[in-house]
Structure 1
Amino acid sequence: MDRNDAPAYPVGLRLAGRRVVVLGGGQVAQRRLPGLVAAGADVLLVSPSATPAVEAMADAGEVRWERRRYTPGDLAGAWYAVVATDDAAANAAASAEAEERRVWCVRSDDAEAATAWTPATGRDEGVTVAVLTGRDPRRSAAVRDAVVEGLRDGTLVAPRHRARTPGVALVGGGPGDPDLITVRGRRLLAEADVVVADRLGPRDLLDELPPHVEVIDAAKIPYGRAMAQEAINDALIQHARAGKAVVRLKGGDPFVFGRGMEEVQALAEAGIACTVVPGISSSISVPGAAGIPVTHRGVAHEFTVVSGHVAPEDPRSLVDWAALARLRGTLVLLMAVERIGAIARALVEHGRDPQTPVAVVQEGTTAAQRRVDATLATVGATVAAEGVRPPAVIVIGDVVALEAGRA
């Protein structure tokens, strides 16, 4: 077989503490140096000049930089070399020296003359993906990206076979659209043995779970059946103690009116490890999906998120409605559909303009999303007349009146 036709033999180099020589300080070095530094290599850069990024690495002491051109002998003691200068003769000479010294050498200008090729690499959760497709680097990068993305979003399931530390992942699932869960959250969901799911979590993701995954319904349907918080805590603890990988899938963000901290505290008291994965809160994502920015230059310099699950006159309320009425920015209400009439009256009584625009966005980010507009003076009657039901996010403020295209 011709040497040039033989496939490359893949291998992972352990370069920590070993000398690596990089010739040339241009764009190739800028791409390769971070990986070499991350591998712990003792990097010597030989180049009369360098890009600002490469120079910054040298200034930070991550690499040693000798500001000169290549000279024979530079590869002495090296385990690996990257030849990437703009001088073809120097590249050929360095490549010949590498061959003589039996140093594996990558060449940016002539892959056929190199003794090593750099694969397209990506990393995720301790897994390194390296792809070689011979003379088609673009295909290598495309395959690499597909594999890494699959690992990250859970579409490429690769279960761990070594022992895992039992624990619970408290995952914010976002506002409802399954595509809006975080990459880490989706990956943990794909690795779960048990999923304790809320009604407001991204339900479509449950259909993707393998048959062996136990799904526990922790739906807290307003004014209907509900799984007591204590029962949820007990379920998380019991399954984690049984050695299961448990995901508590919640809507929005676990710590934005999600009672997530109560679950974290219960797990801590039980000695159960807990990972918190933030989620996209409906307080900003649902208005955005409905075309409403919660802030806008010259219109609103702040936004306040408030729970409306108790009425303003209720002695259990912790909200200073009078102070909120004096604010000029955006007010975002969650869990407020049933009490929006009372809330609107309280804001008007404390000085907020009754003509302040209001938008009610039901089932935000899902296929069932709809938006109902009103004012503080009319929102109570409008919500009742339109039959708006939870879950819905209510936005109060001048940002509601903004239209696309306005500067």
Structure 2
Amino acid sequence: MNDSPRSGVMRFYPLELDLRDKPVLMVGGGSVAARKLPELLACGAKVAIVSPALSPTLRHLLPALQWHERPFQAKDVQGQSLVFACTNDAKVNEAVSAACRAASVPCNRADAASEGDFIVPGVIRRGVVTVSVSTSGQVPALTRELKRKLDAFLGPEWADIAIRMANVRQGQGVRLDASTNNSVDVHPVFLVGAGPGDRSLLTLGAVDALKSAEVVIHDRLVSPAILELLPETCERISAEKRGHFESQRQEHINEQILAHARAGKRVVRLKGGDPFVFGRGFEEALALEAAGIPWWVIPGVSSATAVPALAGIPVTHRGVARSFAVVSGMAGGETNQIFPKADTLVLLMGLYRLEEIVPALVRSGYSLETPAAAIQDGGLPEQRVCRTTLGKLREDTARQGFDSPVLIVIGDVVNLGGGRGE
């Protein structure tokens, strides 16, 4: 049979074997055997090695395997589930292969894949998720490159996703459509951080989630350039969360997420910055958890640190600021409210409550002469920066016509920026 790469003929049948407590023979005690052995032991196989010598790496594994310190004998293959010919001697490997053929035992030849009965693909594991890559033993370099790319693409979150989806399959979180009497597979809902604005600041995980989404429920401030990544068939729903202005109640947003997830849609909840930093992301996670729907968070670049950085303002700097705090301005200047005293204070969503916030900051120990900066549309081409003092912050932002979204930085680091981003 012509099984060259150009023939297009599939010779090897892909499958997964349960090798728990099954006898497996490894002929050879060098580096090739050392590469193959950990996967076999992890699967629970009972591994025996036949070799006159054993590498130091394999010697460390001796409590977990048997070593027959001698040359190979044809009778060694009897009763084995699998045999690996891993020596650096082609004649020995051929003798192993011949003995296996005579005993009808599958054999893998490390030196000549086409002469064996099976090959071992490149494997990427994430918990119970296993992805195998093979070029049928013809192009090992390509197998390695594909494995490298897949290994980078498949993040550790897939192990958790698999567990959650297994629960769904077992009945935890599966919803029944009463009108059709058909069960609906529930996909994990992704709570995704969109970063501070610019599309280039999205994480790779966020891009992957968006490109496979069927429904995206997004904050109003998410950049249109980011929404361009969505498939044409994706349904886009604006949550209209605007901070100072009236917006949808969080309960209604939760209901929307649950409804689309229960309908079997691939749902992404897209939030500005990081979903767990003043984004109510965990409230949505708890709602999903209570409904038995699997979820996963893809953190985003938080505007709390990224927006000041894009304006040329570090939140920490040696000799100037060793600590910083991030607070929400939504609470305004509640009676007796005390703000944390840090070298740098980052205030989110506080522009329209400065009349109450500034006195509260003074009560908390901040001087009206403390440097302050307001950054509007941080991370976007239209970004503006107003550098002033805490005492003049409200007046200066009003005079310059600042409008939401605005992030405020308070502390001596403001004077380090040198005008960048203005």
TM over 0.5: yes
The structural deviation recorded for 1:169 is 1.6
Q: Given the alignment of the two structures, is residue 336 of structure 1 paired with residue 350 of structure 2, yes or no? A: yes
Q: Given the alignment of the two structures, is residue 273 of structure 1 paired with residue 276 of structure 2, yes or no? A: no
Equivalent of residue 50 in structure 1, options 56, 63, 67: 56
The structural deviation recorded for 1:44 is 4.3
Q: Given the alignment of the two structures, is residue 165 of structure 1 paired with residue 164 of structure 2, yes or no? A: no
Distance 1:185 1:139, change over 3 A: same
The two structures have a TM-score, normalised by structure 2, of: 0.69
Given residue 97 of structure 1, which amino acid in structure 2 is its aligned partner?
Answer: V
Distance 1:402 1:106, change over 3 A: farther
Report the counterpart of residue 320 of structure 1 in structure 2.
338
The structural deviation recorded for 1:306 is 0.6
1:68-79 equivalences under 5 Å are 71-72=72-73, 75-79=77-81
Q: Given the alignment of the two structures, is residue 141 of structure 1 paired with residue 147 of structure 2, yes or no? A: no
1:125-204 equivalences under 5 Å are 126=129, 128-132=131-135, 134-145=137-148, 165-166=185-186, 169-175=189-195, 176-178=197-199, 180-181=201-202, 185-201=206-222, 203-204=224-225
Any conservation in 1 of the 2:194–2:206 contact (CA below 8 Å)? no
The structural deviation recorded for 1:143 is 3.7
The structural deviation recorded for 1:273 is 1.8
How far apart are the structure 2 equivalents of 1:3 and 1:266?
54
How far apart are the structure 1 equivalents of 2:311 and 2:294?
34
The structural deviation recorded for 1:71 is 4.3
How far apart are the structure 2 equivalents of 1:202 and 1:65?
61
Equivalent of residue 284 in structure 2, options 263, 272, 277: 263
Unaligned ranges ≥5, structure 2? 156-164, 170-182
1:335-367 per-position Cα deviation (integer Å, ceiling 9, x unaligned): 123345754554345433556554544444444
Equivalent of residue 23 in structure 2, options 11, 19, 30: 19
Quote the sequence identity (%).
35
Given residue 191 of structure 2, which amino acid in structure 1 is its aligned partner?
Answer: V
1:60-99 equivalences under 5 Å are 63-64=64-65, 66=67, 71-72=72-73, 75-84=77-86, 88-89=88-89, 92-99=91-98
Report the counterpart of residue 162 of structure 2 in structure 1.
none
- Look up the SS of the partner of 1:395 in the other structure: strand
Any conservation in 2 of the 1:173–1:201 contact (CA below 8 Å)? no
Distance 1:181 1:4, change over 3 A: closer
The structural deviation recorded for 1:171 is 0.6
Distance 1:92 1:261, change over 3 A: same
Distance 1:234 1:168, change over 3 A: farther
Distance 1:353 1:25, change over 3 A: farther
How far apart are the structure 2 equivalents of 1:344 and 1:133?
69
The two structures have a TM-score, normalised by structure 1, of: 0.71
How far apart are the structure 2 equivalents of 1:384 and 1:252?
25
Q: Given the alignment of the two structures, is residue 393 of structure 1 paired with residue 399 of structure 2, yes or no? A: no
What is the aligned-residue RMSD (CA, Å)?
A: 4.3
The structural deviation recorded for 1:307 is 0.4
Mean alpha-carbon deviation: is it higher for 252-261 or for 355-364? 355-364
Equivalent of residue 249 in structure 2, options 219, 228, 234: 228
